[in-house]
Amino acid sequence: MAKYEKVGLIGLGVMGFGMAVNLLKAGYTVVACDINQERIKMLPEQSKVIAVSKPCEVTEHTNVVITMLPNSPHVQSVIYDENGLLSGKTEGLFLIDMSSISPDVTREIGKDLKAKGIKFVEGPVSGGQSGANNGTLTIMCAGDDKDIDDAMEIFEAVGKNIVRCGECGAGQVVKVANQLMSAINLISMSEAFALAVKAGVNPEIVMKVIQGGSGKCWAVDNRMPEILKGNFEPGFTIDLHTKDVKLAVEMAKNMNLPLYATNLVAELFKTAQVKGLGKKDNCAVIKLYEELAGVEVRS
């Protein structure tokens, strides 16, 4: 297993910021890169933070780099653009992409970087902002086993449940499947609670029963308490979750696989975006049903 002192991290958004904090706690120096330099200044232990403004500058300080970015084009841009990683030092470069992106794009990147002699491992995550902050993320890693071995100490600094999914692209496939189930659960929860509250039952009682029943799921355990408080600040945004559901739709279309609930959920999340909820937490999708029912699901 490789040992690293400095780790590059490109993307200090909701997830990347918490990961950077946990890398610092684990004793790493973090070479941080983000279009918003203020995010870097917010990190603790600034003496162990090296701030850079361009991806190509990261490799001046370390050869191991994590990317944690919103979507496929962002990852491609960070790698291939004029000031991207490949325009800097590439000798011994090890790229660990922990973004949630298209499996096809991941495979393309992996194949291309391998041809260039660059190590590449994917490690998309699940667990939301709380998992990133607490270092308890589930990591779906894929790629060559030896490369995953070399990345393991880094994965262990930011995650708790680290699962080897197979060859390059497999991690992203599993992540899409996870995000799809999460989205469907959010919709089923929204419908069930709107129904119960419309019928006059206290939502806290509904939550208590479901948490001990067959309807129990992450959405009820983790998101319903925030809904009851009226807290819809992200978290994980509807915009990002919509992107993940669209990836599932595209995958199914390419494989000629009918997925009925998937397409319905994609339209519901798109409706939430149209209604201006895209930057809110994904649990804000319940507002669609609150509007239809004429009730609010609150304590």
The C-alpha atoms of residue 276 and residue 274 are separated, in whole angstroms, by: 5
Distances (CA, A) of 169 to 144, 150, 175: 11, 18, 10
CB-count burial class (<10 Å; 0-12, 13-18, 19+) for 133: middle
The C-alpha atoms of residue 243 and residue 176 are separated, in whole angstroms, by: 10
Catalytic machinery residues: 175
Q: Where are the beta strands (DSSP E) in the chain?
A: 6-10, 29-33, 49-52, 64-67, 94-97, 119-122, 125-126, 137-142, 159-166
The C-alpha atoms of residue 286 and residue 145 are separated, in whole angstroms, by: 41
Nearest CA to 168 out of 117, 123, 126 is that of 123
Q: Which distant-in-sequence residues (6+ apart) come within 8 Å of 244 by Cβ?
A: 100, 175, 176, 179, 180, 183
Backbone angles phi, psi at 48, to 5 degrees: -110, 15
Helices (H), 72-223: 72-80, 103-115, 128-134, 145-158, 170-198, 203-211, 218
* 7 bridge partner residues: 30
